[in-house]
């Protein structure tokens, strides 16, 4: 077979697999089931398409989101990877009904897709063809647990296992934290981040708050019962950074994480498709609500984050309080010199978020950073087609235990958390599951998501026979990045 013929065969096989996975995806959706199943849905779509081709006038803006799925752009809903053999038929109506965190995704989708489709696309999608978004999940299927048996001191769950976790002087129920995601009122309009704060207090969990928060850091810290961990985007005007750091210091914040993976614009292909093809006018309700928030009066222009945000300067932001937004002020590039200035001005714990290579991990150590945060922004920054769990070992090897290592992107199970801990991570962030719980049910949804993940981690530790977090090590897993993924059809 010639090289060209082999290419044609492989291309056809890939198309066949794509069609099969798409039909699997449709079959797993409660929304499709409500329309009478895949056959009825496909027949309706084809019939509507033919009718429009014949002169029908119905606009795509008038159709439900589930009925205008693009064929050229992957849209990750309602599940990125449906569990094999499980039938998804009943959407939960109460957090107590959830069996795993995936149970929250569909109710969030059903709530948001009708009123705020742009918000759903923003929070759920990645960039380009969503390759990194899916790689983050697939990566865990190359890491295998190695359960031990009859180990002394591990009497079973829950008595013989402790997930207690202490870092930077604070103790939590598990090494799991909520990721910093911006504008959480856009999916839970009553109080956004405050619901997350209260849920984290209930589950004794670290909350990392986004610089783009839609509730004030002061209010979130009060609801949490301790200072939040604050994620920061670097203002282009460094004097504004100093204003923000001083404010956080006065609040009692002890730990910050500077995000460094958003210096360049990204290509949110799925979100762009939704903006072009779906009526997103309902999303204005959220943006109006944020603008009219009780505490936004008198705030200057927004986050002053750098070049990519300059066009958004009229939008207010909580962390922009007291900023000088004059366009005449000198801008500072986000580089290691900028980091050094922050290191000098911030006396608390200081981490760098968005590290994906051993080279940058080494530079973090050289520049006095207190923790390294491995992240690809939940599959959004950038399109590497490589999971964070896959790059973790080289960063652990470079850091050599000198500072803690945080990690996020793609974590959905307690087993995922255990695998990261075994490979050398210190703490694991969850973003999408937290947002699913928040968007579906608010505070009770987030609390249940955290409860599920904490319980799954405890069960996994019991099954592998590790009594404490300190007992987890690389001998508890086997890694084969070249292993074939499990068959899902």
The reply to whether 411 and 281 lie within a common domain is yes
Please work out, in degrees rounded to the nearest 5, the angle formed at the alpha carbon of residue 41 by the alpha carbons of 36 and 45.
150
The reply to whether 193 and 287 lie within a common domain is yes
Separation CA 474–CA 297 (nearest Å): 52
Over its C-alpha atoms, the chain yields an Rg (Å, rounded) of 23
pTM (predicted TM-score) = 0.76
The reply to whether 182 and 51 lie within a common domain is no
pLDDT of 61 higher than 60 = no
The reply to whether 442 and 305 lie within a common domain is yes
Instruction: Please state, in angstroms and as integers, the Cα–Cα distance from residue 223 to each residue in 24, 255, 387, 438, following that order.
Output: 42, 18, 34, 16
In a domain, 131, yes or no: no
Identify which has the larger pLDDT, 76 or 199: 199
Question: Domain boundary at 55, 88, 121, which?
Answer: 88
Separation CA 305–CA 182 (nearest Å): 14
Q: Look at the block and give the residue holding tokens 């973003």.
A: 431
pLDDT of 341 higher than 70 = yes
* Helix, coil or strand: residue 244: helix
Separation CA 407–CA 388 (nearest Å): 7
Question: In CATH, what number is assigned to the domain containing residue 315?
Answer: 3.20.20.70
Give the pairing of strands 477-479 and 349-355: unpaired
Question: Domain boundary at 54, 73, 88, which?
Answer: 88
pLDDT tens-digit profile of 382-437? 676 789 999 999 999 999 999 999 999 999 999 999 999 999 999 999 999 999 99
In a domain, 114, yes or no: no
pLDDT of 464 higher than 50 = yes
Tokens read off for 349:
């714990």
Select from 261, 305, 13, 25 the least CA-distant residue to 126: 261
Q: What is the dihedral of CA 395, 397, 400, 403, to 10 degrees?
A: 10
- State the total domains in the chain: 2
Identify which has the larger pLDDT, 37 or 395: 395
In a domain, 489, yes or no: no
In a domain, 95, yes or no: no
Burial class of residue 331 (count of CB atoms within 10 Å of its CB; 0-12, 13-18, 19+): middle
Q: Cα–chain-centroid distance for residue 39?
A: 33
The reply to whether 188 and 306 lie within a common domain is yes
Separation CA 442–CA 449 (nearest Å): 11
Select from 371, 359, 372, 481 the least CA-distant residue to 419: 481
Separation CA 193–CA 438 (nearest Å): 9
In a domain, 262, yes or no: yes
The reply to whether 286 and 388 lie within a common domain is yes
In this structure, of 84-93, 122-131, 191-200, 476-485, the range with the lowest mean pLDDT score is 84-93
Structure confidence at residue 385 (pLDDT): 72
Q: Look at the block and give the residue holding tokens 């059809």.
A: 489
pLDDT category, 281, cuts 50, 70, 90?
Answer: low
The reply to whether 84 and 143 lie within a common domain is no
pLDDT of 308 higher than 60 = no
pLDDT of 121 higher than 80 = no
The reply to whether 54 and 200 lie within a common domain is no
The reply to whether 65 and 214 lie within a common domain is no
Question: Domain boundary at 54, 88, 122, which?
Answer: 88
Identify which has the larger pLDDT, 294 or 360: 360
Tokens read off for 170:
């604070």
Structure confidence at residue 299 (pLDDT): 39
Q: Cα–chain-centroid distance for residue 260?
A: 16
The reply to whether 48 and 162 lie within a common domain is no
The reply to whether 177 and 290 lie within a common domain is yes
> Which residues constitute the domain of residue 8?
1-88
In a domain, 84, yes or no: yes
In a domain, 339, yes or no: yes
In a domain, 220, yes or no: yes
The reply to whether 371 and 304 lie within a common domain is yes
């Amino acid at each position: 077979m010639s090289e060209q013929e082999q290419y044609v065969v492989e291309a056809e096989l890939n198309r066949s697999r794509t069609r099969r996975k798409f039909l699997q995806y449709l079959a797993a959706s409660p929304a499709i089931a409500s329309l009478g199943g895949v056959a009825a849905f496909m027949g309706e779509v084809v019939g509507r398409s033919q009718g429009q081709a014949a002169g029908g006038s119905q606009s795509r803006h008038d159709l439900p989101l589930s009925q205008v799925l693009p064929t050229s752009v992957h849209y990750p809903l309602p599940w990125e990877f449906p569990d094999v053999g499980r039938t998804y038929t009943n959407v939960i109506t109460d957090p107590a009904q959830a069996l795993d965190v995936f149970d929250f995704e569909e109710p969030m989708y059903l709530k948001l897709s009708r009123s705020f489709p742009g918000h759903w696309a923003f929070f759920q999608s990645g960039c380009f063809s969503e390759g990194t978004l899916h790689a983050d999940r697939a990566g865990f299927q190359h890491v295998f647990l190695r359960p031990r048996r009859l180990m002394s001191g591990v009497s079973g769950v829950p008595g013989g296992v402790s997930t207690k976790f202490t870092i930077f002087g604070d103790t939590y129920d598990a090494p799991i934290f909520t990721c910093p995601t911006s504008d959480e009122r856009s999916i839970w309009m009553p109080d956004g981040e405050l619901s997350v704060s209260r849920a984290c207090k209930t589950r004794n969990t670290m909350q990392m708050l986004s610089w783009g928060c839609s509730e004030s850091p002061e209010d979130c810290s009060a609801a949490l019962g301790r200072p939040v961990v604050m994620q920061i985007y670097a203002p282009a005007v460094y004097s504004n950074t100093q204003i923000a750091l001083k404010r956080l210091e006065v609040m009692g914040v002890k730990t910050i994480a500077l995000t460094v993976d958003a210096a360049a614009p990204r290509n949110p292909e799925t979100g762009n498709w939704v903006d072009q093809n779906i009526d997103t006018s309902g999303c204005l309700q959220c943006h109006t609500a944020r603008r009219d928030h009780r505490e936004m009066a008198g705030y200057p222009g927004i986050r002053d984050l750098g070049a990519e945000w300059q066009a958004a300067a009229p939008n207010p932001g909580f962390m922009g309080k007291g900023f000088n937004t004059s366009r005449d002020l000198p801008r500072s590039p986000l580089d290691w010199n900028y980091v050094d200035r922050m290191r000098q001005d911030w006396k608390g714990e200081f981490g760098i978020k968005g590290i994906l290579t051993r080279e940058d991990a080494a530079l973090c150590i050289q520049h006095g950073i207190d923790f390294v945060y491995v992240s690809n922004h939940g599959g959004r920054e950038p399109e590497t087609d490589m999971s964070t769990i896959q790059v973790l070992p080289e960063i652990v090897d470079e850091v050599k235990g000198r500072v803690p290592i945080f990690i996020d992107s793609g974590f959905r199970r307690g087993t995922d958390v255990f695998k990261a801990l075994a490979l050398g991570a210190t703490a694991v962030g969850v973003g999408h599951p937290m947002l699913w719980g928040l968007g579906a049910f608010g505070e009770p949804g987030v609390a249940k998501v955290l409860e599920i993940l904490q319980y799954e981690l405890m069960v996994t530790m019991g099954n592998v026979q590790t009594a404490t977090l300190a007992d987890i090590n690389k001998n508890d897993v086997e890694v084969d990045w070249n292993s074939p993924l499990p068959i899902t059809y």
